[in-house]
Structure 1
Amino acid sequence: MENTKSSGGIKGLFKSIGTQKLIAVIALVAIYLFFAIASKDFRSWSTLVSIFDMSYYIGFMAIGVTFVIITGGIDLSIGTVCICSGLIGGQLYKMGVPIALCLIITILIGIVFGLLNGLMVSIMKLPAFIATLGTMMVTRGLGSIVTGTQSITYPLRTDPDGWYSSLFRIDVKTANGVMPIPIGIILLIVAAIIMAVILNKTRPGRYILALGSNKEATRLSGVNVVKWETLAYMISGLFAGIAGIAYASTYFTLMPGTGNGFELDAIAGVVIGGTSLSGGVGSVAGTMIGVFIMSVLKTGLPFVGLQPHYQLFITGLVLIVAVYADVRNRKTSR
């Protein structure tokens, strides 16, 4: 495959990526310290657990959508697919289906919607923005239709079928009461490591990166671009389904018609972590840094007295700044 960039440009791009990751780490530490200084209540174990709890569903969605963004695409449906998958799985449990099978079906539903997104983008040639926006609306409505607009409650940790939630948190009895241990962070890190290896060390990962760098050159080199572009969206759907399980295991109750907005947190985390919206550049490790920045922000803002509408406003600003930094890095690397 012909290299479309000069060696100097590539070196400059790698340098800018490393710089952006370093800035992201510094920003994460600074934001955490700011909230810790501003509010003594923030400096508690329960707050740290809340940060981890939020990082699960945002993190899984972000890992998946990293692959899509690297191809130069976008997936706006991950938030509603996350909730829709969880709602359908919960409705099946309500109908008597074993919880283990419900969790599997939840993930499969995410994969199916990822496949549909991939086919619309790669074969039907729909713009990714329009295709996934349509899927966002479809899944938002489907969750309400399946559940009859009723909220779905998953089994609690104290229930016999609540074992699945122990994958993300366990309660340890201490002299002062019960102490929650957020073991789900282990699952998130393991998933991130596996997907980082797939992205950087395997043929599918290299092809997905190549699609974002130069899709036409990749096609001319004999690579099946339809196959690998579709795979990227299927990975996004897979992790949206897993995010649905993570959300249910943390909050237990899912509301129909929700989930839109989750994708902004995930995409912001991806871009903050150094993945370019232009495609061809990105890393799962950087995504994880961005995810924790978003989790700390969303958890910490209420501690300084900001209401949800202010939180959404600040999230939007963070996304704009992250995209602007990406654009600047791309220009300076040319």
Structure 2
Amino acid sequence: MQPLDVVTFGEAMAMFIANEPGRLHEISQFTRELAGAETNVAIGLARLGLRTGWASKVGNDAFGKFIIERLQREQVDINHVLIDNHYPTGFQLKSVVTEGDPEVQYFRKGSAASHLSPADFQEEYFQSARHLHMTGIPLAISEAARRFAHHALTYMKKNGRKVSFDPNLRPTLWSSQDQMVKEINEVAFQADYVLPGIAEGETLTGYKEPRDIASFYLDMGVELVVIKLGPEGAFYKTASEEGMVPGFRVEKVVDTVGAGDGFAVGVISGLLEGLPIHDAVLRGNAIGSLAVQSPGDNDGYPTRTALEKYMENNLQGVKVYESNHC
């Protein structure tokens, strides 16, 4: 088995994007794309040249075949993708808006991915990777997927691998906010790197200031916390240093979905390559800013060459970072 730089897992869906603005029930023509936070990260990392694998289940149907073929085309390893003959692949509908967030409707209940369980876990596959990236979505879609997530986390930590965690909160998938906060934080406390958005951080910790949110997780043993602040950039903190990294100027926001996953791509790839934290976060801001300028969830994710050119062209006159040692 070929070694991997990063492995991730979760649910992928076929996504149908409206071809024109309007309410979803009024739209007659859609364009099919791929959706899924973890597949977004896998695709983004693969485009930067990292060896990336994605583990999941898809139905034995047209949507499942589409997902597999799309990931293969993106050079994401799919040797841990299982075909389920009993349950379908989920899908979603997504509107087009002139400003703000699009309307999204999900058709995912009882999907093949929601039946991913610890019995499906392939040790050899996960052991081949040097880093695990997780989101909070598998924790929410089913009890079975939640157990798979805990099993993967425990296994990778036991084997000395680093783990990054993006809460990626989906309140509608949880029975209550209290349960969501409890389950998400249980995983976050075991991760090495935690990457919440500012609103997610407030929900999960009760604090509003980025420094306080970060300290909450650092006190629980997390190594690095990076908090996404939208156009303002991001704040990071470890036990010994902290800093603000500005965002990149964007003239027109087309679609914000996928920006957080693109941010994770930048941070994870940078840390794996040994960049200083502020440089890794700056890369995350760059990819996040590219993501919001395209309609699909991962259309804007760059190749290595495109990323370097974009950062070079957009850094002139920008204060790269502010940091200090705690």
TM-score of the pair, normalised by structure 2: 0.29
Q: Which has the higher strand share?
A: 2
The structure, 1 or 2, with the larger RCO (C-alpha pairs under 8 Å, 6+ apart) is 1
TM-score of the pair, normalised by structure 1: 0.28
Q: Which has the higher helix share?
A: 1
